[in-house]
Amino acid sequence: MAERLFPIIFFMKRFKKTMRLFGLIVMIILACFGIGLGGTPPVLPVIRTKHGTEFIETREEENVEEDMQNLK
């Protein structure tokens, strides 16, 4: 009877070691992304939309000189 259990015991020990290694690899991968056992992912930065460019009207020299004379 003990002879029949030996392959099962050997398989279970190998299976246990494999599962521990798999768990370690999963923990390392999660740590690389900053996720802990709590399961909360890191807060990603908010992408802000850029405002459109504002157009500034330029006046011709004549209009500026006239405006300056009107201010006096």
* pLDDT tens string 1-17: 556 667 888 889 999 99
Give the contacts of 51 (CB within 8 A, at least 6 positions apart): none
pLDDT at 16: 95
With 80 as the cut, is the pLDDT of residue 22 above it? yes
| Res. 49: pLDDT tops 70 | no
Residue 55 pLDDT greater than 70, yes or no: no
Residues in the chain: 72
Percent of the chain with pLDDT over 70: 53
Average pLDDT over residues 29-51: 73
Mean pLDDT, range 37-50, rounded to an integer? 69
